[in-house]
């Protein structure tokens, strides 16, 4: 899965175009990342991204331009997905929050995705780029 590549390019909260959030209603994660140089100038530099399950039960990542154009790209990450759960690590309480962010527009330390595919659960874990080290309390 190429999510590690996109998560490693997340913008920091100090960046002007930073955005990071989660919609509990439709289990949609959205964030801003820097795609760098691209042949299409609308997808160079900062772009908005969203991860969700579409109506065809595909796990999707979509990219939309921050250049005030309506351009959007989508990519199927996995097919035949029945559900997905997002777990956000809350370092202050040393807990994982299921399908809930403690604060919108704050980059979490870590994210765990649990994908439900054909009655099977598949776990993925990601660490976001951090300026400060991650302190995990035991």
Q: What does pTM read for this prediction?
A: 0.87
Q: Is the pLDDT of residue 1 over 60?
A: no
Higher pLDDT pick, 28 / 4: 28
Q: How many domains does the chain have?
A: 1
**What per-residue confidence (pLDDT) applies to 15?**
77
Average per-residue pLDDT for the chain:
88
Domain annotation covers residue 9? yes
Positive or negative CA dihedral for 46, 50, 51, 57? negative
Exposure string (b/e) for 4-29, b if CB count within 10 Å is 16 or more? Answer: eebbebbbeeeeeebbbebeeeeebb
As to burial, measured by CB atoms within 10 angstroms (0-12 exposed, 13-18 middle, 19+ buried), residue 35 is middle
Range of the domain at 29: 3-127
Residue indicated by tokens 């609308």: 42
Domain annotation covers residue 59? yes
Domain annotation covers residue 27? yes
DSSP structural state of residue 5: H
């Amino acid at each position: 899965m190429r999510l590690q590549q996109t998560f490693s390019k997340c913008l920091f909260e100090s960046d002007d175009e930073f955005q990071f959030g989660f919609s509990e209603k439709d289990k949609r994660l959205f964030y801003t990342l820097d795609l760098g140089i691209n042949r299409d100038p609308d997808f160079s530099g900062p772009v908005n991204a969203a991860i969700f399950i579409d109506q065809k039960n595909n796990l999707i990542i979509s990219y939309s331009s921050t250049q005030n154009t309506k351009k959007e790209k989508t990519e199927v990450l996995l097919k035949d997905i029945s559900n997905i759960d997002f777990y956000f690590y809350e370092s202050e309480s040393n807990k994982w929050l299921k399908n809930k962010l403690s604060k919108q527009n704050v980059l979490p330390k870590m994210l765990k995705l649990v994908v439900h595919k054909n009655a099977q659960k598949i776990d993925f874990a990601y660490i976001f780029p951090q300026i400060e080290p991650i302190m995990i309390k035991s």
